[in-house]
Amino acid sequence: MRTKYTKIQISLHWLTLILVIAVFATIYISDWFHGPIRTMLKNAHFNLGVFIWLVIAFRLFLRIIFKAPPIEPPLNRKQQIASRAMHDSLYLLFLIQPILGLITRAYDGRTWTFLGIPIEPFVTIDETFSYTLREIHEIIAIILMIMIGLHAFAALFHHYIKRDNTLIRMLPSSKK
């Protein structure tokens, strides 16, 4: 039985973290600029969001194929439920968030580019609805930041306090 996630699962996990940092950085830094730099940063935010969606969808596919390696020593029932709820919620929010962002952008009536290809609004402009969607998008972003922090805290807690293999299962192998 495997004691670690597969190399691709580990790589995609850490790629997700890098993409999430980049997606948050681009949108927050964009407020510091105007003109073409702001537009470039916002388009980077939109593109990174799409990439996060693709990576998460592929991670879910891999999770179906490759079951999670067991935590040793095993978690108690409450911890298993909490762990499952956290992971399921993270996956769900990471899938919803980019879609919500794209729909918000469409109702806003603004064109954006995906890898240089202009994406025109595909719905009737509704600025009020767009504003509501943007607020929800921002609230989910805050929830995701908190959940990511709790996820990292839990991994460190399991590694340093409980001394189980929770974190080790997702770390790249060291070369000897």
pLDDT tens column, 77-108:
999 999 999 999 999 999 999 999 999 999 99
Average pLDDT over residues 9-14: 98
Q: How many domains does the chain have?
A: 1
- What is the C-alpha to C-alpha distance for residues 99 and 58, in angstroms, rounded to an integer? 16
User: Is 126 contained in some domain?
Assistant: yes
Neighbouring residues of 38: CB distance < 8 A, sequence distance ≥ 6: 30, 31
Residue in the block written with tokens 């004691």? 3
Backbone angles phi, psi at 73, to 5 degrees: -70, 155
Examine residue 176 and state whether it is found in any structural domain, yes or no.
no
User: What confidence tier does 176 reach under pLDDT thresholds 50, 70, 90?
Assistant: very low
Assessment of whether the complete model's pTM goes beyond 0.85: yes
Residue matched to tokens 């929770």: 166
Mean pLDDT of the chain: 94
Tens digits of per-residue pLDDT, 19-66? 999 999 999 999 999 999 999 999 999 999 999 999 999 999 999 999
Question: Residue 91 sits in which domain range?
Answer: 7-170
Identify the CATH number of the domain in which residue 129 sits.
1.20.950.20
